[in-house]
Amino acid sequence: MKIKTCWDFRVFKKKNFSKERKLILKNIEDFYNRWSKKDLRKPKNLLRFLKNYEEFISAPPGIFAREYLYYFLKSLLDTKNKKYKEKLKEIEDLRENANKKIFSLLEFLKSDKEKDKILKSPILRNYKNFLEIFLSNFQFPEPFKNKNFALLRENIDKEIKKSDWKLFTDKKLQDKILKKYSKFVEKAINEVFKEFLENEKKFNLPFTYYESFLPKGFDPKIIKIIKEAILENKEVLKKEIGEYEIQKQKIEEFFKSKISIKKAISLVIEIYNKIDKSFGELVLEYFQKGLIDVYKRKNKYLLPRVILSEVDFLPNFILLNFKNTFENVFSIIHEITHLLHYEFLKRYNSPLNRKQSVLVKEIIAGIFVFFALEVLKEKYDKELIEKKIKSERAWTILYDMTILSTQEEIYKIYKKKGRVKIREINKVYKKNVALFLGKEMVKRFSDYRWILNFYRGLAFWHFPYFVGSLLSMIFIKEYYKNKMGFKKKLFRLMGAGLNKSFEEIFKEIGYDIYKKDFWRDCLV
pLDDT, tens digit, 9 for 90 and up, residues 488-523: 999 999 998 877 777 888 888 889 999 999 999 988
Same domain membership, residue 517 and residue 400: yes
> What order do you get walking across the sheet with 317-322 strand by strand?
292-295, 317-322, 305-307
- Residue 241 belongs to a domain: no
Query: Which residues pair with residue 318 across a beta bridge?
Result: 292, 306
**CB contact at 8 A, 469 and 393:** yes
Per-residue pLDDT of the chain (524 residues; tens, 9 = 90+): 789 999 999 988 877 899 999 999 999 999 999 999 999 999 999 999 999 999 999 999 999 999 999 999 999 999 999 999 999 999 999 999 999 999 999 998 887 777 888 888 999 988 887 888 888 766 667 777 788 888 888 899 999 989 988 999 899 999 999 999 999 899 999 999 998 888 888 777 777 777 767 766 788 889 899 999 999 999 999 998 888 888 888 888 888 999 999 999 999 999 999 999 999 999 999 999 999 999 999 999 988 999 998 888 999 999 999 999 999 999 999 999 999 999 988 888 888 888 777 888 888 998 999 899 888 888 888 888 888 888 888 998 999 999 999 999 999 999 999 999 999 999 999 999 999 999 989 998 899 999 999 988 888 878 888 888 888 888 988 988 998 999 999 999 999 887 777 788 888 888 999 999 999 998 87
Q: Give the total residue count for the chain.
A: 524
Q: Rounded to whole angstroms, how far apart are CA atoms 160 and 283?
A: 30
Distance CA(442)–CA(431), nearest Å, equals 8
Within-domain flag for 64:
yes
- Angle between helices 516-523 and 220-246 in degrees, nearest 10: 20
Please report whether residue 30 resides in a domain: yes
**Cα–Cα distances in Å, from 506 out to 4, 159, 492?**
39, 40, 10
| Residue 396 shares a structural domain with residue 505 | yes
Task: Choose one of 135, 163, 194: the last residue of a domain.
Answer: 135
Look up the domain containing 469 and give its range: 144-236+385-523
Q: Are residues 392 and 436 in the same domain?
A: yes
H or E stretch including 307?
Answer: strand 305-307
Does residue 109 sit in the same domain as residue 153? no
What distance in Å separates the CA atoms of residue 391 and residue 221, rounded to the nearest whole number?
27
Answer for the pair 221, 445: CB distance below 8 angstroms, yes or no.
no
* Cα-based distances in Å from 30 to 51, 101, 103: 16, 12, 14
Of 135, 165, 200, the residue at which a domain comes to its end is 135
What sign does the CA torsion over 387, 388, 394, 395 have?
positive
Is residue 298 assigned to a domain? no
Cβ atoms of 402 and 454 closer than 8 Å = no
Are 104 and 192 within one domain?
no
| Cα 223 from Cα 212, distance rounded (Å) | 19
Q: How far apart are the first and last CA of the chain?
A: 41
Are 478 and 398 in the same domain?
A: yes
Find the CATH number of the domain harbouring 98. Answer: 1.20.140
**How far is the C-alpha of 141 from the C-alpha of 279, rounded, in Å?**
36
CA distance 292 to 313: 18
Residues 6+ apart with CB under 8 A from 271: 333, 371, 372, 375, 376
Angstrom CA distances, 144 to 353, 371, 457, 458, stand at 24, 31, 5, 9
DSSP for residue 457? T
Same domain, 114 and 90: yes
Q: Answer whether residue 329 is part of any domain.
A: no
* CA 492 centroid distance within chain: 19
pLDDT of amino acid 515: 92
Q: Are residues 130 and 170 in the same domain?
A: no
Element (H, E) at 118: helix 112-119
Q: Return phi, psi of residue 421, to 5°.
A: -105, 155
User: Is residue 112 domain-shared with residue 173, that is, in the same domain?
Assistant: no
Residue 372 lies inside a defined structural domain of this protein: no
Amino acid sitting at position 506: F
The answer as to whether 291 is a domain residue is no
Do both 498 and 393 map to the same domain? yes
Residue 269 lies in a domain: no
Q: Show which of 135, 169, 185 is a domain's final residue.
A: 135
Q: Counting beta carbons within 10 angstroms of the beta carbon of residue 167, is it exposed (0 to 12), middle (13 to 18) or buried (19 or more)?
A: buried
Using CA atoms in the order 165, 170, 176, 181, what is the torsion angle rounded to 10 degrees? Answer: 50
**Contact assessment for residue 200 and residue 164, using Cβ atoms and an 8 Å cutoff:** no
User: What three-state secondary structure class fits 251?
Assistant: helix
Residues 20 and 52 in one domain: yes
CB 262 within 8 A of CB 3: yes
Name the nearest CA neighbour of 62 among 54, 71, 72. Answer: 54
Residue pair 185/422 in contact (Cβ under 8 Å)? The answer is: yes
Query: How many domains does the chain divide into?
Result: 2
Residue type, 325: T
Do residues 461 and 452 make contact, with C-beta atoms less than 8 angstroms apart?
no
The stretches of 136-293 forming alpha helices (DSSP H) are 147-162, 171-203, 220-246, 248-255, 261-273, 277-288
Each residue of 185-200: pLDDT tens digit?
A: 999 999 999 988 888 8
Same domain, 125 and 150: no
DSSP state of 295: E
